[in-house]
Amino acid sequence: MSKVKSANLGYPRIGEKREWKKALEHYWAGKITKEDFLETVKTLRLSYLKKQKDLGLDLIPVGDFSLYDHVLDTAVLFGLVPERFRTDEKEVSLETYFSIARGSKNAEASEMTKWFNTNYHYIVPEISNDTKPYLTSNRLVALFNEAKEAFGITTKPVIVGPITLLKLAKGYDQDHFQTLLTALIPLYVQVLSELKAAGAEWVQIDEPILVKEQTAEDLVLFQDTYQTIKNGVPNLNLLLQTYFEAVDDYEKVVQLPVDGIGLDFVYGKEANLAAIKTFGFPKEKVLAAGVIDGRNVWKTDLSAAFQELKTLLGFTGGNDKLWVTASSSLLHVPVTVSNESELDPVLANALSFADEKITEIVTLVNGLNKGESAIETELDKNSDDLLALQQSAHRNNNEVQEELSQLGEELPARPGSYRLRQQIQTDAFKLPPLPTTTIGSFPQTTEVRQARRNWRKGDWTEEQYEQFVNDETAKWIQIQEDLGIDVLVHGEFERNDMVEYFGEKLAGFAFTRFGWVQSYGSRCVKPPLIFGDVSWIAPMTVRESAYAQSLTQKPVKGMLTGPVTIYNWSFVRNDISQADVFNQIALALRKEVHALEEANIRMIQVDEPALREGLPLKDEKKADYLHDAVYSFRLATSFVNNDTQIHTHMCYSEFNEIIDTIDALDTDVISIEAARSHGEIISTFEDFAYKKGIGLGVYDIHSPRIPSVAEMKSYAERALKVLDPKVVWINPDCGLKTRRIEETIPALKNMVEAAHEVRKELSNPVG
């Protein structure tokens, strides 16, 4: 009898307690040898495979594990190494691999940007018109064999598809796309042929680019590409995997010459389900149905998912043509709820991390194969757990719901126009041209982290910890004064994370102990859980900001995280609309902004680095999201006096797509990155006459290298060709918490010097 199968698209890399991160950082710091590092990560990799096997999965992935980033892995696999990192080596060394990702003493790191609309960052492949791809070494065969030898598992290798890889790359002219694709396809065939020879039965080829709008030419490209690949490996089963949304061109996508199609029935549920009901599904192909949310942490409504799967089963060619999967790789969720012993049971019982999601997949498959009665106990418990959270007081705060009901449709507005505010603020602050500042945080040293641990464990009193934070703040206020920075920050030494810190002080949030996810490289974040109605309890930032301001005559910025970023960098309840959660957070932040203004903090930065990353992938959904984002930001900030200057910060965004939205935020100053993209972002302002204040991120803080004065000057000078010097500020491209002191101070010194030199050039123009 044929059976429905359970499958996973990808598993978290970081380990239950971030063992992967620790190994990476120890290796980078020279604390362990390369051999010890590679042995450690191999042990971790194998443990993940064993766990998935023990949980009962039928199809377990390999190739999803990475030492840094899976897109970088794919680029390196095919020799797509930026010119500045190329050597004579055929195989790309570990040193070169990490240099591409992190930079080296002599070369800037490759650009990093968001993976579609997630908070995971990938390394952007750099390809020139004359790049000649080649196969460096087939790591997928090595990983496939490793799993087979260790556990006897015939795994499902995973690779980023050639079209997505090239569409996400940069550096080549579009008229060379076909030439580059033509060069890549035989290499994919070679990789797949070697996997088939090693015993692979299925390979998952990820083409998430398919959920974005495709032209008729794009669809022909997919048809021709996969026909050529299939012709090259006719006896290997290929699963073409999509995720994060529905496919627009369903009829053509499901007819592509592959053996299975993976569709997202969570974030693309409505459109994908409607398409299947309208057009059917090819009986000869496998449907990998992503009914478990791969990006959020709530238990799936298993009864509802079970009924959806029964519906989908009616469109397939038999039980063996249906796989049950998550909607995407589980890279985006923490590893397991089993370590979370300190959460409210009502909340904990409603959570599902990677391991629990695999169990949900296996449970649903058991029900489909053995009958619903076989999983009746699991269905009943699942229903009870979800209902208990929904009926809890956390989700029924009458005061918050009343505040929401009072909001009007019209956008909140500042009392005066930007031009009026600019004049008032110029007179009030008396800043020099090209004022210098930083984004907010300073290095979180071992001492800072240890102090926080001492306080959290109760080894230090509240007074001891406050004194430590005061001392660090005073030290860095003095450092900023000595460097000649014009607008100062308090350094955020009291903060663990820019979202977690606020969530800990607001109602409606909860925090895990080990709920980490990878953001980029070894950088892991522990997103809060927004599980109830959000409300302000008491001032969150006033004490530290006011203390810092008391130490200096220069302005000190109050530092807040904006409502959209708090939303996008949290795991968010899915029972009310996104707009309602935005506005709940905004109403809470509004009270904090008011408290800062009352404390005479006249510059307040409300950061929205994640605004664009939440942008829907479908054009028809973008306008509503952007409207809701602007509304919530202005709800939090628009009531302030004209002499209070509102700043915001965004990073690693393709600003040209949302420049109108940035303008509509109506901030007085926005800071952006200009270095990691090698100044490309400035071209946005060649086409859009941006008149408000703009802070240029003239150096990349995600790399340990210290940029030169000349390098930073070049970004400023390029910007001044299209921007009015009266609105330009100079700053790093992001916060400095992850950098070491010995990197931070020299880099800031160079930044200030670069600003001074450009000021001199402005006051003494040549000719």
> Which active-site residues does the annotation give?
702
- Beta carbons within 10 angstroms of residue 283's beta carbon: 10
- CB contact at 8 A, 187 and 138: no
DSSP state of 755: H
Cα–Cα distance, 218 to 200 (Å, whole number): 29
Token pair belonging to 31? 């604390």
Whether 19 has a binding-site annotation, put simply, is yes
Judge whether 18 is annotated as a binding position. Answer: yes
Residue 569 is labelled as binding a ligand: yes
Is residue 279 within 8 A of residue 306, CB to CB? The reply is: no
Nearest-angstrom CA–CA distance, 348 and 350: 5
Residue 613 assigned to a binding site = yes
Report the greatest alpha carbon distance in the chain: 86
Cα radius of gyration (the chain): 26
352 is known to lie in a ligand binding site: no
| DSSP designation for 170 | B
> Do the annotations mark residue 649 as ligand-binding?
yes
Cα separation, 364 vs 360, in Å, equals 6
Q: Is 394 marked as binding a ligand?
A: no
**Do 675 and 651 meet the contact criterion of CB atoms below 8 Å apart?**
no
Element (H, E) at 673: strand 669-673
Closest CA to 143 of 41, 75, 237: 41
- Classify 509 as helix, strand or coil: strand
For residue 492, say whether it is annotated as part of any ligand binding site: yes
110 a known binding residue?
A: no
User: Beta-carbon neighbour count of residue 66 at 10 Å?
Assistant: 18
Report the C-alpha gap between 674 and 696 in whole angstroms.
6
Residue 385 is assigned to a ligand binding site: no
Residue 20, marked binder: yes
Residue with tokens 């794919």: 74
Would the annotation count 729 as a binding residue? Answer: no
Per residue, what are the HEC states of 282-338? CCCCEEEEEEECCCCCECCCHHHHHHHHHHHHCCCCCHHHEEEEECCCHHHCCCCHH
Measure the CA–CA gap between 17 and 2, rounded to whole angstroms: 39
Is 440 marked as binding a ligand? yes
Separation between Cα atoms, residue 636 and residue 583, nearest integer Å: 9
Task: Tell me how far CA of residue 315 lies from CA of 50, 281, 287, in angstroms.
Answer: 33, 6, 9
Q: Which residues are annotated as a binding site for 5-methyltetrahydropteroyltri-L-glutamate?
A: 18-21, 114, 523-524, 569, 613
Q: Which residues are annotated as a binding site?
A: 18-21, 114, 439-441, 492, 523-524, 569, 607, 613, 649, 651, 673, 734
Q: Which residues are annotated as a binding site for L-methionine?
A: 439-441, 492, 607
Q: Which residues are annotated as a binding site for Zn(2+)?
A: 649, 651, 673, 734
Q: Which residues are annotated as a binding site for L-homocysteine?
A: 439-441, 492, 607
